[in-house]
Amino acid sequence: MSWIGARPALWRALLILYYLAVIAGLIAIYGRGDFSTPPFVYQGF
Amino acid sequence: MRDLAGGHNLQTIMHRARTGTPHLFSGVIAVGIAASILFAGRMIAIHLEHKTLHAVAPRVFQVKNQGLAFQRTAAHARDVLPLYGSSELLSPAWETAGVFFRTAPTGFQASPVGKVGTTPLIMLQELGGLGDDLREKKIAISLSAVWFVVSDINQYSYDANFSLFAASELMFGNALDLELKRDIADRMLQFPGTMKKNPLLGFALRRLASGGPLDRIIFCALWPLGKVQNAILDLQDHFAAVIYIRNGPKSSSSLHPQELDWPSLITKASEKASASQRGTVSGTDQQMATRRSEAWFLQQLGGARQWTDLELLLRVLTKLHARPLLLSMPMDGQFYDQFGISRSIRESYYNKMRALAQRYNFELVEFEEHDEDAPFLVHRVPQIKRVASPHLTAKGWMFYDRVLDDFFHGRVPRS
């Protein structure tokens, strides 16, 4: 049995941190959203 | 004993989950922690939005126009009057409602929302997106007379104002009934460019617009997906709001009551407007207007799609139990006189607007008596003098401000 395998609590904690890091990465990439709009083109009003 | 046995079984199941499927267990825990953090972050963002409301409310900016966070905060505040309009809100004059009421001289601030090309179809999406937050809320809506004498807005104008979050909240929200949503969807689909951004919304709009029973079922099946989309957009909106607050106004505007002498303010604003217009209308400018027949004007007035959009907006406001005031800028009488459209023909516009407002029992101020009041509207620069002006001068804004003040305090608005 490996060193980490002998410490299931630590293994689970590391896995949770790993998944949290994945979620944080996804939020960093997609979290900001896009509130920009195309430029206005004068329409003759 | 049974409880103890049940507790023992639960412990066994948890133990098996931890040891048998460690990735699933850890993933679920991580998702739970992330959801809690996001929920807490959202609460903090809402707190910040409320805390900075008085500094933010008088301003017009992209995140406020395209998102709903700041608009919702303004809708919740008792001492803020949301004002929806278009390019006139961007005037640099200090008489503009947002600036004029920034210190809440009579007990409220105006919170302008809108930019160049914001028309009723965009406004109804934003207001419909706010949903029940507008119940019994007083709001002001500024309309440009010129919208109602052109056949339709163009795709560019619509794209430049379209808010995915507002549209998605409107369609997947609970505030409006399916009949009204169908009519709105039908109109929104006439601008397909915006749907490319979000296939889910485009698909849902097509299902709604078709109105068939199967399409209704499909739309209802999409509902949970739409709710998830709204939740994500809502978080993004609050995130953008927090970034704006961090980089934007640091402190709240100091609010202080003040006695307003309206006649004196109007006189000063009139002098300012007259002085800035003096000498700007020359004989050369006047020749730039191409004369049109009155029949042409009436045909334009009858066929303008903005009437449909305005009616949809009024239906949305009725459904939301909002308390709107409609402000219609007067027609540019000086321009139309040169154009060959007489005052009596222009009366058709005022009558039609009045009839529509009466049908929905909404207050309307048309400023009809300022139709030929030259210093009331900004007159166009010569390059675009061939079209009527939809913008207010300092004088026009001062009259607007007085109407907003009357409306907010429950007095009969004076035009």
**Structural domains of chain B, ranges and CATH numbers in brackets:** 54-172+234-409 (3.40.50.1110)
At residue A15, does pLDDT exceed 80?
A: yes
Residues 6+ apart with CB under 8 A from B47: none
Query: What mean pLDDT comes out for the span B363-368?
Result: 96
In this prediction the pTM is 0.89
> Can you give the pLDDT at residue B153?
86
The residues, any chain, with a CB within 8 Å of residue B385's CB and separated by 6 or more, are B285, B288, B289, B335, B379
Contact assignment for A40 to B160 by CB distance below 8 Å = yes
* Secondary structure of residue B156 in the 3-state scheme: helix
Go through chain B and tell me how many residues it has.
Answer: 415
pLDDT in tens, B151-173: 888 888 899 999 999 999 999 99
> In a mutagenesis test of the B interface, which of A17, A19, A35 is the best target, namely the one with the most B β-carbons within 10 Å?
A35
**The pLDDT of residue B284:** 43
Q: What pLDDT sits at residue B242?
A: 95
Query: Containing H/E element for B180?
Result: helix B178-188
Please give the residue of chain B at the shortest CA–CA distance from A44. B387
Q: What is the nearest CA distance from A3 to chain B, expressed in angstroms?
A: 16
Q: Which chain A residues have any C-beta within 8 angstroms of a chain B C-beta?
A: 8, 11-12, 15-20, 22-24, 27, 31-33, 35-45
- Collapsed DSSP state (helix, strand, coil) of residue B3: helix
Percent of chain A with pLDDT strictly greater than 70: 84
* pLDDT of B283 higher than 50: no
ipTM value greater than 0.85:
no
User: Which residue's structure tokens are 């937050």?
Assistant: B133
Comparing CA positions, the residue from B80, B401, B407, B102 lying closest to residue B261 is B401
Task: Look at the alpha carbons of B218, B221, B223, B229 in this order and tell me if their dihedral is positive or negative.
Answer: negative
Q: Can you read off the two tokens belonging to residue B383?
A: 């390059």
Query: Cβ contacts (< 8 Å) between B236 and chain A: which residues?
Result: 31-33, 35
Q: Which residue has the higher pLDDT, A40 or B206?
A: B206
Give the whole-angstrom CA distance, residue B348 versus residue B301.
8
Contacts of A8 in chain B (CB under 8 A): 18-19, 22
Q: What is the 3-state composition of chain B as percent helix, strand, coil, each rounded to the nearest 5? A: 65, 5, 30
Strands (E), B237-373: 323-328, 363-365
Q: What is the pLDDT of residue B1?
A: 44
- Give the minimum alpha-carbon distance from A7 to chain B in angstroms, rounded to a whole number: 11
Mean of the per-residue pLDDT values of chain B = 89
B143 min Cα distance to partner chain A (Å): 13
SS3 B286: helix
Assess whether pLDDT exceeds 60 at residue B285.
no
CB contact under 8 Å between A23 and B150, yes or no, is no
Mutate to test the interface with A, among B156, B164, B237 (most CBs of A within 10 A): B156
Give the chain B residue nearest A26 (alpha carbons): B34
- Give the residue numbers in B contacting A (CB under 8 Å), as ranges: 18-19, 22-23, 25-27, 29-31, 33-34, 38, 62-63, 66-67, 115-117, 144, 146-147, 150, 153-154, 156-157, 159-163, 233, 235-237, 239-240, 243, 384, 387-388, 390
Cβ-proximal residues to B135 (8 Å cutoff; 6+ apart), any chain: B320, B321, B322
